[in-house]
Amino acid sequence: MYKNFLRYLISAIFLITFSISAKADFKVGFVYIGPTGDHGWTYQHDEGRKAVEAAGIKTTYVESVKYGADAERVIRQLAQSGHDLIFTTSFGYMDATNKVAKDFPNVKFEHATGYKREHSNVSTYSARFYQGRTILGHIAGKLTKTNTIGYIASFPIPEVIRGINAMTLAAQKVNPNIKTKIVWVFSWYDPGKEAEAAQALIDQGADIIMQHTDSTAPVQTAEKAGIWSFGQASDMQRFAPKSILTSIIDDWAPYYVERAIAARDGTWSQQDTWHGLKEGMVAMSPYNKGMGADLVKEAEQLQKDLASGKIHSFTGPIYDQKGNILVAEGKVADDGMLLGMNVYVKGVEGDIPK
Amino acid sequence: MSLDISFIGILIGSIMASSVPLILAASGELITERSGVLNLGVEGMMIIGAISGFALMVITDNLFIAIIGSMLSGVVISLIFGFLTQSLLTNHVATGLALTIFGIGLSAMLGKDFVGIPGKDFPILFSSLRESIPFFGPILFGHSIILYFAFVLPFLTSYFLKKTKLGLIVRAVGDSPVSASNQGINVILVRYCCILYGGGMCGLAGAYLSLIYTPQWIENMTAGRGWIALALVVFATWSPIKVLIGAIIFGGISILQLHMQAVGFRIPVQFLIALPYLMTIIVLVVISRDSRKIKLNTPTSLGRIFYKEK
């Protein structure tokens, strides 16, 4: 009897302290699609989380969370366990995020790369990676000898298609004969498959490889084959020191710190953020000197012009594969069109998987 | 698709390379299953082998130690499974699933410090012959020693099971552990050995991925290959040679569909991606129609707990 009483007392004290501390502490939760050790997409988000932690705010994260029911369960769990702000860092968490947000009006949600903000406590944010792709396209168009660029794609969502188009348009500008060959692996993250896709593209004549998947396997394959490649999400240079021309780097840290502090101080409000080279959310790793000093200069200039807005990645005339006009001469594509992009531009081979 | 003869040689070479982890893991699991033990922990043992091999390579800078170490790590982790299922008589299916989950988690924890370190080039054999002989060069030469081992292994396994006394004992234990036990065979010991052997081969399969195929460590890098190896054993009706055929077909179509995409075939990509699974099952079902042979090869008491009365 006495023993039991003691047990209840201890658990009661524990529960009370726990709930008080849970209320008092401002906490930020992160949901990741891959492992933090992918050295790509999730790795960069986790770098952002560490920056929030360094700013004195408590964080937790859940990694390798699958889309669908799993995602909703994890997001709900984070909301229930006293997190005040939750970052869901993949496109496929869009519906789950909005669904949970409805039930937790006091919790703030930030969804990466999506477009649905069904409730006032949901913000969306993304980076204009396509600006980076424009630079890659320019370099690739100049360097390719076979006029074939190999592109390893993950899922047919606007984000990925936009990257393919931006790259192709920029490459065409400097080399009208360019062809973009695409292999879909239907995975963000499968090193073996990504390596095989890279090899298939190389065997089919591509002499430059780029990827919209998260592992370093494609650049390693390119290094082995002795051809050029581009890194994705984080600086992959040390995996393929000779082959990598540059990497598109996602830098989420400043945004995460800013939003976490805003939420803590009560100044957070719904936003739709789409930052690029200008704000530093997209950055380029140092250019490989192997491409030649002139081309490095051109790339750096292009990077400046894209950042300042002098050059837009999607400047007309732009045609689709059948030759219909998408963007008229002298116009630039607006953000609405970019966000919903679901057709290839002229020069890309194959069909978009439906 | 360009169809010149040297290109086909290169293609076959890369198909062989991609099927190696499946052959190794499935051959190991086949022996385990022939002794009557169903170990669903293949994926877990592979990923442990992958991280152990990579970590040892980084620490010791010696590929030989890395390869041996990866096999030993597979042995050690399968020992846990062996102890639970053979000594404590736990359910094979549940224990195997737990082993996979445990392996994935443990490897992620062990691997934290090894992310972002590039791997080392693994030595390949006869690389000069690869270039000089068209067609046969890329097929026969320029591979790692593990690949040659993987392609000999199914034949050795078949010989072991059919022609040796030890192989007969393994099969007897898998078919009827009670009769085997009455004949004086130590069933538990035989099963332990088969489990440990399976673990070692799965460890090696994992190391092939992290040391040779995509030389790096990243979490979850086996990406479900362990499950495919498991399915191969069943669809190949426990025949080592059919495991080899199945693994080559699976690897082959996985790679061919990527080429078909790159060439721009107007076939829905989702269908192409499902094709390796579909074709492997169809081919294995077609070549394994002989029900008498299936009966001969199927370990009758697969997954059943054996308990020796004292």
Q: Please give, rounded to a whole number of angstroms, the shortest distance from the CA of A38 to a CA of chain B.
A: 6
Instruction: Place B271 in a pLDDT band, splitting at 50, 70 and 90.
Output: confident
Query: What is the CATH number that goes with domain A129-250+283-339?
Result: 3.40.50.2300
Q: In the numeric block, which tokens belong to residue A217?
A: 């396997």
Strand order across the A244-250 sheet: A179-184, A148-153, A208-211, A228-233, A244-250, A282-284
Query: Nearest residue of B to residue A194 by CA position?
Result: B214
Question: What local confidence, expressed as pLDDT, does residue A75 receive?
Answer: 96
Mean pLDDT taken over chain B = 90
Nearest CB to A351; choose among B116, B215, B266 = B266
Q: Does B160 touch chain A (CB under 8 A)?
A: no
Q: Please give, rounded to a whole number of angstroms, the shortest distance from the CA of A95 to a CA of chain B.
A: 23
Residue type, B225: R
d(CA B13, CA B9): 6
CB contact (8 A) between residue A191 and residue B112:
no
Query: Nearest residue of A to residue B224 by CA position?
Result: A190
Partnered with residue A229 across adjacent β-strands are A209, A244
- Interface probe for A, chosen from B22, B250, B258, B273 (most Cβ of A below 10 Å), is B258
More confident residue, B263 or A227: A227
Q: Does A183 touch chain B (CB under 8 A)?
A: yes
Q: A 31-70 residues with CB below 8 A of B?
A: 34-39, 43, 64
CB contact (8 A) between residue B259 and residue A203:
yes
Model-level pTM?
0.83
Q: Does B4 touch chain A (CB under 8 A)?
A: no
Check: CB of residue A281 under 8 Å from CB of residue A251.
yes
Would you say residue B284 has pLDDT above 50?
A: yes
Check: CB of residue B29 under 8 Å from CB of residue B233.
yes
Check: CB of residue A206 under 8 Å from CB of residue A146.
yes
- CA angle at residue A194 from A192 to A196, to 5 degrees? 70
Query: Nearest residue of B to residue A354 by CA position?
Result: B268
Q: Does B88 touch chain A (CB under 8 A)?
A: no
| A82: phi then psi, degrees, rounded to nearest 5 | 90, 20
d(CA A125, CA A281): 10
Q: Tell me the chain A residues in contact with residue B215 when contact means C-beta distances shorter than 8 Å.
A: 220
Question: What local confidence, expressed as pLDDT, does residue A95 receive?
Answer: 94
Question: What local confidence, expressed as pLDDT, does residue A22 receive?
Answer: 47
Q: Evaluate the omega torsion of the peptide bond into residue A317 and state whether it is cis, within 30 degrees of 0.
A: yes
Would you say residue B131 has pLDDT above 80?
A: no
DSSP-derived 3-state class of residue B145? helix
Q: How many CB pairs under 8 A join A and B?
A: 119
CB atoms within 10 A of CB A18: 12
CB contact (8 A) between residue A186 and residue B270:
yes
Question: What local confidence, expressed as pLDDT, does residue A19 receive?
Answer: 52
Q: Does B218 touch chain A (CB under 8 A)?
A: yes
Residue type, B206: G
SS in 3 state form for A86-150? Answer: EEECCHHHHHHHHHHHHHCCCCEEEEECCCCCCCCCEEEEEECHHHHHHHHHHHHHHHCCCCEEE
> Is A47 buried (19+), middle (13-18) or exposed (0-12) by CB count in 10 A?
middle
Q: Does B167 touch chain A (CB under 8 A)?
A: no
Residues in chain A, total = 354
Q: Does B262 touch chain A (CB under 8 A)?
A: yes
Q: Does A351 touch chain B (CB under 8 A)?
A: yes
Secondary element (H or E) of residue A327: strand A325-327
Would you say residue B210 has pLDDT above 80?
A: yes
CB contact (8 A) between residue A181 and residue B270:
no
CB contact (8 A) between residue B218 and residue A195:
no
CB contact (8 A) between residue B116 and residue A215:
no
Would you say residue B6 has pLDDT above 80?
A: no
DSSP-derived 3-state class of residue A74? helix
Secondary element (H or E) of residue B302: none
Q: Which CATH number is correct for B5-297, 1.10.3470, 3.90.1720, 1.20.5, 1.10.1060?
A: 1.10.3470
Q: Does B109 touch chain A (CB under 8 A)?
A: no
- CA angle at residue A67 from A66 to A69, to 5 degrees? 95
More confident residue, B212 or B5: B212
Binned average pLDDT, 10 residues per bin, chain A of 354 residues: 63 57 77 84 94 95 90 95 95 94 96 92 94 96 95 92 95 94 90 93 93 91 94 88 94 95 94 93 94 96 95 92 91 89 89 84
Query: What is the CATH number that goes with domain A2-127?
Result: 3.40.50.2300
- Maximum Cα–Cα distance across chain A: 86
CA-wise closest residue to B26 among B177, B237, B167: B237
Question: What local confidence, expressed as pLDDT, does residue B241 receive?
Answer: 95
Q: Tell me the chain B residues in contact with residue A206 when contact means C-beta distances shorter than 8 Å.
A: 262
- Maximum Cα–Cα distance across chain B: 68
Nearest CB to A192; choose among B209, B262, B273 = B209
Query: Nearest residue of B to residue A182 by CA position?
Result: B262
Can you tell me the mean pLDDT for B34-55?
Answer: 96
More confident residue, B286 or B182: B182
Helix pair B5-34, B165-175: axis angle to 10 deg: 60
Q: Please give, rounded to a whole number of angstroms, the shortest distance from the CA of B98 to a CA of chain A.
A: 18
Q: Tell me the chain B residues in contact with residue A193 when contact means C-beta distances shorter than 8 Å.
A: 223, 254
Check: CB of residue B228 under 8 Å from CB of residue B101.
no
Instruction: Place B181 in a pLDDT band, splitting at 50, 70 and 90.
Output: very high
Check: CB of residue A332 under 8 Å from CB of residue A312.
yes
The domain segmentation of chain A, as residue ranges, is 2-127, 129-250+283-339
Identical fold between A2-127 and A129-250+283-339 = yes
- CA angle at residue A343 from A213 to A151, to 5 degrees? 30
Would you say residue B88 has pLDDT above 90?
A: yes
Q: How far is CA A168 from the centre of its chain?
A: 19
Would you say residue B188 has pLDDT above 80?
A: yes
Nearest CB to B7; choose among A182, A193, A203 = A203
Would you say residue B34 has pLDDT above 80?
A: yes
CA-wise closest residue to A352 among B158, B274, B295, B269: B269
Q: In sequence order, which residues have a C-beta less than 8 Å from that of residue B174 and are 6 or more positions away?
A: B33, B34, B35, B36, B37, B299, B300, B301, B302
The domain segmentation of chain B, as residue ranges, is 5-297
Q: Tell me the chain B residues in contact with residue A157 when contact means C-beta distances shorter than 8 Å.
A: none
| A237: phi then psi, degrees, rounded to nearest 5 | -55, -40
Concatenating the DSSP letter of every residue in A285-325 gives PPPPGGG-HHHHHHHHHHHHHHHHTSS-SSBSPEEBTTS-E
d(CA B54, CA B66): 7
